[in-house]
Amino acid sequence: MSQSRHEERQQRLKDKVDARIEAAQIERGILLVFTGNGKGKTTAAFGTVCRTVGHGKKAAVVQFIKGSWDNGERELLEPHGVPFHVMATGFTWDTQNRETDTIACLETWYHAKQLLCDPKLDLVVLDELTYMVAYHYLSLDDVVNALKNRPESMSVIITGRACHKTLLELADTVTEMRPIKHAFDVGIKAQKGIDW
Amino acid sequence: MSQSRHEERQQRLKDKVDARIEAAQIERGILLVFTGNGKGKTTAAFGTVCRTVGHGKKAAVVQFIKGSWDNGERELLEPHGVPFHVMATGFTWDTQNRETDTIACLETWYHAKQLLCDPKLDLVVLDELTYMVAYHYLSLDDVVNALKNRPESMSVIITGRACHKTLLELADTVTEMRPIKHAFDVGIKAQKGIDW
């Protein structure tokens, strides 16, 4: 491509981007959903926490599925003042008791609701919340109400597969992480620092 | 659903997951690609850096598109020993000179190649590299060679839209971030801590 054609193309791109930036003037916290079956949902949520904290803003994390104790992002972010609340018992692939799972979920949600009222928080991550709604451990209405009544400046990220369509409708930004391929499928072990 | 049916379903899920974990025994660094037009590609890369560093492992970041100086993730991660190399001049929506863009890109790639030889690094992020290949600023062969010859234990993340199919073929894990909707499209301003 010649330099002049390249310049024209870049100018058109720049004009488009500039027009979009000019048009976007509303300032408020947003609801982001990272869903789909691909890798990167929780990871993108933690990337955003990292961004928020790096700017000196306040974030909090609630994890609705118990991860490994040896959780890399927690080790890094907690000393930077990011509180983590992880469902202490309850839903993992190993537990199969609906009653105790529901109790653990509701206890965690109670904590999440308090965070969703705190005007000092710029970002709240509700990691793997989608499953709690899908499994009817948590009332959809209760989640919607808490999200709608949160402080205007607060952003929220919900992650997990099979997100309920009401939450997708409520969201400002939704990305579907589509798995094109996964190392795991060809026999590569999940790895510390990459997968957890 | 009854408790017994729930237990059966959960047991089947657990069996499947366990079988997959059992089958995945290969241990080596992987190549991950986060591509597509949706939000979350660079963010997921930084989430992974956060995870890696949280486990006391070593990561490095190369950014092929000049971001804002006031970059939240950099502020947080650099003090944790994550070196950032950002293309000093060159490709942004504002530059339109193919020749100076190419020089800036090659200088940045020279630096990236050195990182890709360093056996002390567990993770190297090549943020927005895809555009450099798409715009022919960088030779695809050169990129493929550097990736193939990297230390076996090193993982690499490539982010950006329109990833070349040869890179997708080479990758172990590929996620396409599909934009379902974006706050920007309804006039919400890009925000510090969320978008940069």
Residue B191 inside a domain? The answer is no
Question: What's the whole-number average pLDDT of chain B?
Answer: 88
Residue among B7, B173, B182 whose CB faces A183 most closely: B173
Answer whether residue A9 shows pLDDT above 90.
no
User: What's the domain range around A70?
Assistant: 28-186
Per-residue model confidence (pLDDT) at position A192: 86
Strand partners, B34: B159, B175
Please state the pTM of the whole predicted model.
0.86
Residue B8 domain-assigned (yes or no)? no
Answer yes or no: do A176 and B178 touch at CB < 8 A: yes
Does the pLDDT value for residue A40 go beyond 70? yes
Q: Is residue B96 part of a domain?
A: yes
- pLDDT above 70 for B111: yes
Is A188 within 8 Å of B122 when comparing Cβ atoms? no
Query: Residue A195 falls within a domain, yes or no?
Result: no
Q: Does an H or E element contain A12, and which?
A: helix A3-23
Decide if pLDDT at B19 tops 90.
no
CB B34 within 8 A of CB B157: yes
Alpha-carbon span B26 to A189, nearest angstrom? 5
ipTM metric = 0.81
In A48-67, the residues whose Cβ lies within 8 Å of chain B are 48-55, 57
Which residues, other chains included, contact A128 with Cβ-Cβ below 8 Å and sequence gap of 6+?
A42, A63, A64, A65, A159, A160
Measured between beta carbons, the chain A residues lying within 8 angstroms of B168 are: 180
Q: What is the pLDDT at residue A117?
A: 97
A68 lies in a domain?
Answer: yes
Taking CB atoms and an 8 Å limit, are B194 and A73 in contact across chains? no
What does the pLDDT read at residue B142? 97
Query: Does residue B94 belong to any structural domain of this protein?
Result: yes
Pair A157, A48: CB distance under 8 Å: yes
- For residue B108, give the CATH number of its domain: 3.40.50.300
Instruction: Look at the block and give the residue holding tokens 């193309």.
Output: A9
- The count of domains in chain A is 1
Tell me the mean pLDDT in the region A48-66. Answer: 92
8 Å CB contact of B51 and A171: no
Contact B138, B10 (CB under 8 A): no
- A13-22, A81-90, B104-113 — most confident range: B104-113
Is there a domain that residue B85 lies in? yes
In a domain, A4, yes or no: no
Residue A44 CB partners (closer than 8 Å, separation 6+): A34, A159, A175, A177, B39, B40, B43, B44, B47
When scoring A1, A5, A10 by the number of chain B Cβ atoms within 10 A, the one with the most, hence best to mutate, is A10
Question: Does A93 qualify as catalytic in the annotation?
Answer: yes
B65 interaction partners in chain A (CB closer than 8 Å): none
Tell me which chain B residue has its CA closest to the CA of residue A26: B188
Q: Per the structure block, which two tokens stand in for B89?
A: 């001049």
- The tens digit of pLDDT for each residue in B85-102 reads 988 765 555 556 778 888
Residue in chain A lying closest to B96 (CA): A7
A72 contacts B50? CB cut-off 8 A: yes
B30-50 confidence digits (pLDDT tens) = 999 999 999 999 999 999 999
Mutate which of B6, B48, B97, B169 to disrupt the A interface (most A C-beta within 10 Å)? B48
What does the radius of gyration of chain B's CA atoms come to, in whole angstroms?
A: 19
Check whether A196 has a pLDDT greater than 90: no
Residue of A174, A124, A173, A172 whose CA lies nearest to A151: A124
Q: Is A128 a catalytic residue?
A: yes
Mean pLDDT within A54-69: 85
Q: For B176, which of A74, A178, A192 is closest by C-beta distance? A: A178
With CA atoms as reference, report the closest residue to B186 among A145, A30, A18. A30
